[in-house]
Structure 1
Amino acid sequence: MSNNFDKDQATTECNNTSSTGSPYRDQSFATAAVHAGYEQLDHGDAAMTPIYASAAFNMESAVRGDLLAAGETSGFSYSRVANPTVAVLEQRLAALEGGIGAVAVASGMAAVSFALLCAAEGGGRIISPTNLYGASVDAMESFFPQFGIHTDFVNNINDLDEVAAKIRPDTRAIFAESVANPSTDILDIEPLAELAHRHGIALIIDNTVPTPYLFRPIEFGADIVVHSTTKGITGHGNAIGGVIIDAGRFDWTNGRFPQFTTPELVVSDERAGIEHSFASRFGREAFIRRVRIKYLRTFGAVASPFNAYLTLIGLETLPERVSRQVKSATAVAEYLRHAPHVAKVNYSGLGDTAQSDLVDKYYPRGVGQILSFVLEGTEDNVHSVIDGVKLFSYVPNIGDARSLIVDPARITHREVPEEYRIRGGVSDQLIRLSIGLEEPEDLIADLDQAIRRAY
């Protein structure tokens, strides 16, 4: 069997190069979301990607097993490294984001952690804003330093002078969210990419909030893109997952990244006396191959075939879901701007914010389904609204088909230091909404009655 997504085993067992080799055009995004990365003939003519619920695969013969292990033939052997169902998802997401390859993992935080650790391993530094998802801040603030990796936080990631002042000889990457959660602040990615590349630094973007339907960071200079596929990509709150996507353009041999140029046995052939580093073995695929071989295979945060299957189903309706959610989120945000007892609304998609130029440039289809607002009064009022809504579920997730509500300071950003929370606008009075597929008029009526009751 010749799968078009497993070109080169080389211990990775899967290449996942986009079938087109380039990003899908806007007009064919919906088609790619349904078809990219899957050939029915390679899977018993199944119309839908099968779930390969197998821990391992028959290598057929001693000769073929040796060739598989040496990377001299294509195929699968062990699902901790690659699985046919997961591989379809990887290739489809690489195609939708315009990358050369992808690695699907067990969660969004696994994707963030693997991408940052792979870039900064060995004592590197990361530059990042503080207005990120809480677990990302916690990982960089208090956990990664235990592994010798430190983060230099900036107040405003769009202030290039502030970012440039943080660059050191051991800086390896800049990390930011394309649309910040929960502020919906927009990243001005193009000049940031130019700054990073001028200094030989990689730009890693978390694109979870907008999904590739609304924004593709690689088109504006990003080197690595990560997602929590749990959110808008899957879209139904039924499967945890994450993905790392490699643009394939960054020079990992520029001197800042010794992990890519140091020879390693896992990608060499000791018996034949052939020595390789990841860069010499894989060239422009060095990063995504290292993620698979060193991080996925060793740490084992493996995406399950069943979750990959659910994510593939969710992807098929991504354009339709997100388009409706953006329209509804805008309507809800407009209501909240004039609602009693609402002190502030955070939704950059309203069109008249300080970032309207960036929205016009990067987000012609909208900025996504999340928004947040600040209530007057005390935290008791916040609790009353959360407890008083009927249609919104009190759930720490976003991108679901159902509308969700949460108080970030107590839940999603609880582990973020107070200084960072306040700087990012995450006060005890803040409520975050993720708008689903319900009628916006019903959601507005639900919020209106809950707010009125709370006061």
Structure 2
Amino acid sequence: MTDFSTLAVHGGYNANRNDNAVSVPIYASAAFDLENAARGRDLAAGEISGFEYSRVANPTVDALERRLAALEGGVGAVAVSSGMAAVSYALMCAGEGGGRIIAPTNLYGASVDALGDFLPQFGIHADFVKDINDLHEIESLIGPATRAIFAETVANPNTAITDIRPLADLAHRHGLALILDNTVPTPYLLRPIEFGADIVVHSTTKGITGHGNAIGGVIVDAGRFDWANGRFLQFTRPEQVIADIDGNRRSFSGAFGSEAFIRRIRVKYLRTFGAVQSPFNAYLQLIGLETLPQRVARQVETATAIAGHLEHTPHVVSVNYSGLPDSPYHALAGKYFPRGVGQILSFKVEGGADRVRRILDGVKLFSYVPNIGDARSLIVDPANITHREVPESYRKAAGVSDDLIRLSIGLEDAGDLMADLDRAIAGAYGE
């Protein structure tokens, strides 16, 4: 098997097919010459592979998709314009026609809003659980309309870890798909497909790009799930859009088999709703991927050191970082994350929101930014920024309170970052 670091640089791209360009070219073209009538007809019918129109596929974006599919161990991927487009498309594709999704309350704020408030307007509903690792509660919610279980591999901001293997086994016993958001760890730290996940989504804006300079998302398909098992009628219904070359309607499961999900994402969701990844953003993400292992390894090392330091810092009440020995998720961290759990951590301080504001205003190296995975270290108050649309009861259950601060650790010197936090915290308490 090719090493991860090698795939991060070379995966999904053949220079010989691109005029020997060492770096993936930016194909800034809205459409592509079909060459002749016969080839155009074959492309439109899906009988041959190639490029017609960049709303459906583009060579630069294709290289990114192939590389990410290789890094996650999937059969295919579709890159989209943002992480929330990836989450929304994946959940809608699974839940079409009145399906229900089981999910935890400690998701990213926009995901909670999508499942709890917006997707119900499209007939897709959520059954929320407090603890995604409580298999008894999850099983009690499974009904005829349940289609999938959705969770984050590492929750943001409390770094709670999903126990993937037993959750996947439970889902598959009931014919459900397991969809996981793997944004926080990136595939360098965790490949959920290896533990039974069926669909993996990312906000590639975060650690995959790694420099805070491009928005993007991706959906990766493991290619193992049976979408024709009776729960997903959208995959067995014949459709004109994928009719064969003679005009005979086909179903996605019948035409594409194990790749039915990712093909439906591209043909129905990307093509229709149009949240297209731009070639330039795809290029920036490909460049970011080349240094993903080195960046994330350094960030994990620094995040672990800072989390340990904060445990002994005056006025810090508690620290959330699953990589710490006293974390309730430490055993799961050892099971799934031999390279570490990521660059995100959070901590609570004495005195509530007023002290939090003083700390936010007091740091000099940390940037007050609602992003994660950047080369720069970032700081934010989740209750007011990233999780403000989440219902209060869900926020409290996830530990997102007014006294919580989240950090995303970058590539700066660990000692400099600790000193910056120490100064800001001391200053917030008049010391």
Kindly indicate whether the alpha-carbon contact (under 8 Å) linking 1:398 and 1:434 is maintained by their aligned counterparts in 2: yes
Residues of 2 paired with 1:339 and 1:144: CA distance?
Answer: 43
Find 2:71's aligned residue among 96, 120, 129. 96
Partner of 1:53: 28
Find 1:369's aligned residue among 338, 343, 364. 343
**Structure 1 stretches of at least 4 aligned residues deviating more than 3 Å after TM superposition:** none
Residues 175-233 of structure 1 deviation map (CA, whole Å, 9 limit, x = unaligned): 00000000000110000000000000000000000000000000000000000000000
After TM superposition, the score normalised by the length of structure 1 is 0.93
Residues of 1 paired with 2:114 and 2:49: CA distance?
Answer: 36
Kindly indicate whether the alpha-carbon contact (under 8 Å) linking 1:175 and 1:204 is maintained by their aligned counterparts in 2: yes
Pairwise CA distance, 1:356: 1.6
Partner of 1:418: 392
Kindly indicate whether the alpha-carbon contact (under 8 Å) linking 2:320 and 2:327 is maintained by their aligned counterparts in 1: no
Residues 318-373 of structure 1 deviation map (CA, whole Å, 9 limit, x = unaligned): 00000000000011101110111111100001123222211111000000000000
Report 1:349-388 matches (<5 A): 349-388=323-362
Report 1:153-302 matches (<5 A): 153-269=128-244, 272=246, 274-302=248-276
Residues 364-408 of structure 1 deviation map (CA, whole Å, 9 limit, x = unaligned): 000000000001102110000000000000000000000000000
Kindly indicate whether the alpha-carbon contact (under 8 Å) linking 2:27 and 2:59 is maintained by their aligned counterparts in 1: yes
Find 2:382's aligned residue among 385, 408, 429. 408
Residues of 2 paired with 1:147 and 1:295: CA distance?
Answer: 14
Is it true that 1:82 corresponds to 2:57 in the alignment? yes
Unpaired runs of 5+ residues, structure 1, are 1-23
Residue identity opposite 1:206 in structure 2:
D
Partner of 2:37: 62
Residues of 2 paired with 1:127 and 1:314: CA distance?
Answer: 33
My pick for the range that moved more, 111-120 or 353-362, is 353-362
Residues of 1 paired with 2:44 and 2:339: CA distance?
Answer: 45
Is it true that 1:311 corresponds to 2:285 in the alignment? yes
After TM superposition, the score normalised by the length of structure 2 is 0.99
Kindly indicate whether the alpha-carbon contact (under 8 Å) linking 2:46 and 2:242 is maintained by their aligned counterparts in 1: no
- Quote the sequence identity (%): 72
When the two chains are superposed, the root-mean-square deviation of aligned CA atoms in Å is 0.8
Kindly indicate whether the alpha-carbon contact (under 8 Å) linking 1:233 and 1:311 is maintained by their aligned counterparts in 2: yes
Pairwise CA distance, 1:273: 5.1
Kindly indicate whether the alpha-carbon contact (under 8 Å) linking 1:351 and 1:359 is maintained by their aligned counterparts in 2: no
Residue identity opposite 1:338 in structure 2:
H
Partner of 1:328: 302
Kindly indicate whether the alpha-carbon contact (under 8 Å) linking 2:322 and 2:333 is maintained by their aligned counterparts in 1: yes
Partner of 1:453: 427
Residue identity opposite 2:360 in structure 1:
I
Residues 137-185 of structure 1 deviation map (CA, whole Å, 9 limit, x = unaligned): 0100100000010000001110100110111110000000000000000
Partner of 1:29: 4
Residue identity opposite 1:188 in structure 2:
D
Partner of 1:7: none
Q: How many residues align?
A: 429
Residues of 1 paired with 2:183 and 2:88: CA distance?
Answer: 14
Is it true that 1:38 corresponds to 2:13 in the alignment? yes
Pairwise CA distance, 1:62: 1.9
Secondary structure of 1:348's partner?
A: coil
Pairwise CA distance, 1:63: 2.2
Residues 79-130 of structure 1 deviation map (CA, whole Å, 9 limit, x = unaligned): 0000000000000000000000000000000000000000001000000001
Residues of 2 paired with 1:440 and 1:302: CA distance?
Answer: 38
My pick for the range that moved more, 412-421 or 355-364, is 355-364
Secondary structure of 2:234's partner?
A: helix
